[in-house]
Amino acid sequence: MPPLLEVRDLHTEFRTGAGLVRAVDGVSYTVDPGETIAIVGESGSGKSVGAMSILRLIADPPGRITGGEIWFAGRDLMRLSNDEMRQVRGGEIGMVFQEPMTSLNPVLTIGRQITEALEQHEGITRAAADKRALDLLGLVGIADPARRLRQYPHQLSGGMRQRVMIAIALACGPKLIIADEPTTALDVTIQAQILELMKELTRRLDVALIIITHNLGVVARYASRVNVMYAGRIVESGDAAAIYHAPRHPYTMALLRSVPRLDRPRQARLDPVDGQPPDLTRLDQGCAFRPRCRFAIEACAQARPPLAPAGEAGHLAACFRSRELGALAGAAA
Amino acid sequence: MTSPTADASKLLEVRGLRMHFPITEGVMTRRKIGEVKAVDGVDFTIGRGETMGLVGESGCGKTTTGRCILRLEQPTAGEILYDGVDITRMARKELLALRRRIQVVFQDPYSSLNPRMKVGDILAEPMKVHGIERDATSRAARVRELLDVCGLNPRFADRYPHEMSGGQRQRVGIARALALEPEFIVCDEAVSALDVSIQAQIVNLLEDLRDSFGLTYLFIAHDLSIVRHLCQRVAVMYLGRIVELADADALFDDPMHPYTQALLAAVPVPDPTVEANRAFSPAKGEVPSPINPPSGCVFHPRCPIAVESCRHTRPEPRELRPGHWVTCSEVR
């Protein structure tokens, strides 16, 4: 089965006052139909810009997609006209953003925001769209949907607004939903509700899901495959279990080691990732993680390591020492 | 809720704290049409040198509780005894002296540092206000010392906040809190805005400073795994009340209140194997509005073990195990 989405060597740049930032610097990955993958990274890693680039939602200026192909359901999205792209967004690809208050229109009713998408993409009548909007709100677990349809975003709680966003994303029967930090702004009990809902609905409706997040717990609970990003590149990619139990990139290893876990005994002291996040305007030809890496060697300063097989089938890491890393980490510990 | 261990050398005692904010209507004549019960009857103590965690979801009143202790809010009712003196009744002049002893680290190191001031001036400002280190040379020396203690190169004194990363800025925020050599620091979501890879650095710094200077912390946060790591005792708040208070180990290993249990179950563990084997159903419903909180026990509409009496009888905290307080009439 061919992948639903294939991103090939994507490059997105921003021209800033401080210089050129390669926010996404040669990123390639695939998403299979119905699959949930996670893109994990910290601020500035390029995880959100990469996803926005798939949808061609990069403001130009200052940003520009400078290279790459995005194959989705047999077409290269980079070659579509703006009109065709508008049909893809919110049609075959749904979107859920972090902040439901700013991504919903404050002066339109909830009902109108859902029916607008339906009329735009499906070309159905107002009455049919109203009926479908009612069904969608029920689907995402909103009680008393008829009343909610007439309300405005400010009358809903954060959790309910995010449910509405999911209803809009699902409205036109998408094959893929891109969720950019969908629960970061929500409280932990509401976060759990929203993630369970997304998991249940994407399984039931066979929709593929890309979750973009910085939360390693969310990834562990919901994703089957994981791409870890650092300074605009994927540094490690593979099955969630492999990444968490046998990480093959020093950044992933350090990140997993640094977070305290509720299921483990209390540690005497946390083991942080050393140093500061990279300044993207000042990267050199070497590995971007090198200044913070405990295992850096001379070769790391010469060139950026390519993403290469490192362990079980499908497990990739961008580190010159990925194969010896297991033994090295054991010796260091 | 007074735990016996804290009695010996308690630094802070909060009794019956209430903070109700009025909701007003009208422009010319402001009429009060209701109130937000942000904090609605909170009791706890913090021992000298102890780190107390205050956790809960947004709107539970944890930040308002911290602001009352800092006297950034004037509480509606209750007492806050700091070293035996009720600070809710203090006059301005006494407050100035108090603020040398109680300091704060805020969540957002972007908005809590003046962007037009150099880091050195940001750190010297509290010394000027309080008239310590009166000459410029000794102030500069103290600034270098503070930067060094917080793991920053002394050269940072000449930089502006925007030239620094989030983690570095938070180190400046912490250095500023230390400038007056306080005993007690309220850390309000002090690591929440930071990247995952930086959080552990700041947590370690807070621990080091606690040990070096014998500091007492009130650590307000929503990240439960960090609270467990850093705190000796933890209070869980829900809709303006403390629903459970215990030693950190007891609270996390054996949570007794149904809300604490739901909160802990909702936190995903960064391990796919653990997660795959975990039975999990999220707490139902959402947090009700503090403007019109539910009658009786505020948690009853979402509670899996609620009985009829929970709808109209407000439960009082009970000490079910030594030092382990639970505000629930059903838990035994």
Q: What DSSP string describes A14-30? A: EEETTEEEEEEEEEEEE
Q: Has residue A274 been placed in a domain?
A: yes
Q: Has residue A134 been placed in a domain?
A: yes
- Is B303 part of the contact surface with chain A (CB cutoff 8 Å)? no
Are A193 and A60 contained in the same domain?
yes
| Res. A141: pLDDT tops 80 | yes
Q: What is the mean predicted confidence (pLDDT) over B257-277?
A: 91
**pLDDT (tens digit, 9 = 90+) per residue, B83-126?**
999 999 999 889 989 999 999 999 887 788 999 999 999 999 99
Please list every residue in chain B whose beta carbon sits closer than 8 Å to the beta carbon of residue A249.
none
* Residue of B134, B123, B133 whose CA lies nearest to B172: B123
Please list every residue in chain A whose beta carbon sits closer than 8 Å to the beta carbon of residue B203.
270, 272
* Residue of A10, A293, A71 whose CA lies nearest to A305: A293
Q: What is the mean predicted confidence (pLDDT) over A232-254?
A: 94
Tokens coding A19: 């210089």
Are A32 and A167 contained in the same domain?
yes
User: Given A223, A250, A277, which residue is the final one in a domain?
Assistant: A223
| Res. B279: pLDDT tops 80 | no
* Percent of chain A's residues with pLDDT above 90: 61
Residue A331 pLDDT: 60
Helix axes A158-170, A126-139, angle to 10 degrees: 130
| Mean pLDDT, all residues of chain B | 91
Using DSSP bridges, classify how beta strands B184-188 and B102-105 pair: parallel, antiparallel or unpaired: parallel
Are A101 and A57 contained in the same domain?
yes
Using DSSP bridges, classify how beta strands A5-16 and A19-31 pair: parallel, antiparallel or unpaired: antiparallel
Q: Could you give the CA distance from residue A132 to residue A129 in angstroms, rounded to a whole number?
A: 5
CA A303 → CA A20, A24, A318, B183, distances in Å?
A: 19, 17, 11, 50
Structural domains in chain B, sorted by start = 4-108+182-326 (3.40.50.300)
Please list every residue in chain B whose beta carbon sits closer than 8 Å to the beta carbon of residue A219.
270
Tokens coding B312: 């109209």
Are A244 and A217 contained in the same domain?
no
CA angle A156, A159, A162 (to 5 degrees): 90
* Residue of A61, A101, A72 whose CA lies nearest to A10: A72
Q: What is the mean predicted confidence (pLDDT) over A280-285?
A: 90
- Is B153 part of the contact surface with chain A (CB cutoff 8 Å)? no
Please give, rounded to a whole number of angstroms, the shortest distance from the CA of B308 to a CA of chain A: 24
> Which residues partner with B246 through β-bridges?
B234
Residue A330 pLDDT: 64
Are A42 and A190 contained in the same domain?
yes
Q: Has residue A229 been placed in a domain?
A: no
User: Given A170, A191, A223, which residue is the final one in a domain?
Assistant: A223
Residue B314 pLDDT: 94
- Is A110 part of the contact surface with chain B (CB cutoff 8 Å)? no
Are A149 and A243 contained in the same domain?
no
Q: Has residue A230 been placed in a domain?
A: no
Interface confidence (ipTM) of the complex: 0.86
* Residue of A4, A144, A154 whose CA lies nearest to A70: A4
| Res. B196: pLDDT tops 70 | yes
Residue B260 pLDDT: 95
Collect all residues with Cβ–Cβ distance below 8 Å to A192 and sequence separation of at least 6. B265, B266, B268, B280, B282, B283
The pLDDT confidence band at residue A143, using thresholds 50, 70 and 90, is confident
Are A88 and A167 contained in the same domain?
yes
Q: Could you give the CA distance from residue B209 to residue B202 in angstroms, rounded to a whole number?
A: 10
Are A87 and A199 contained in the same domain?
yes
- CB-CB: which of A42, A216, A271 is closest to B195? A42
Are A143 and A292 contained in the same domain?
no
- Is A258 part of the contact surface with chain B (CB cutoff 8 Å)? yes
By C-alpha distance, the chain B residue nearest A275 is: B198
| Res. B282: pLDDT tops 90 | no
Tokens coding A34: 């119905």
User: Which of A101, A189, A197 to substitute to test the interface with B, most B CBs within 10 Å?
Assistant: A189
By C-alpha distance, the chain B residue nearest A270 is: B200
Q: Which B residues 10-69 touch A at CB under 8 Å?
A: 57-58
Q: Has residue A106 been placed in a domain?
A: yes
By C-alpha distance, the chain B residue nearest A218 is: B268
| Res. A70: pLDDT tops 90 | yes
Q: Encode B71-100: b = buried (16+ Cβ within 10 Å), e = exposed.
A: bebebbebebbbeeeebbebeeeeeeebbb
By C-alpha distance, the chain B residue nearest A251 is: B197
Tally of domains within chain A: 2
Are A320 and A192 contained in the same domain?
no
How many beta-carbon contacts under 8 Å exist across A and B? 135
Phi, psi dihedral angles at B313 (to 5 degrees): -105, 120
CATH of the domain at A117: 3.40.50.300
- Would the CB atoms of A188 and B266 count as touching at under 8 Å? yes
- Is B268 part of the contact surface with chain A (CB cutoff 8 Å)? yes
Residue B2 pLDDT: 46
Domain containing A52: what range?
5-223
Please give, rounded to a whole number of angstroms, the shortest distance from the CA of B57 to a CA of chain A: 6
Alpha-carbon torsion angle A177, A171, B280, A247, nearest 10: 0
Are A63 and A210 contained in the same domain?
yes
The pLDDT confidence band at residue A164, using thresholds 50, 70 and 90, is very high
- Would the CB atoms of B286 and A219 count as touching at under 8 Å? no
Q: With contact defined as beta carbons under 8 Å apart, do A199 and A172 qualify?
A: no
Are A136 and A187 contained in the same domain?
yes
Q: Has residue A100 been placed in a domain?
A: yes
Q: Has residue A228 been placed in a domain?
A: no
User: Given A223, A244, A276, which residue is the final one in a domain?
Assistant: A223
- Is B275 part of the contact surface with chain A (CB cutoff 8 Å)? yes
Q: Could you give the CA distance from residue B69 to residue B183 in angstroms, rounded to a whole number?
A: 14
By C-alpha distance, the chain B residue nearest A277 is: B165
Tokens coding A168: 């809009």
Q: With contact defined as beta carbons under 8 Å apart, do A221 and A303 qualify?
A: no
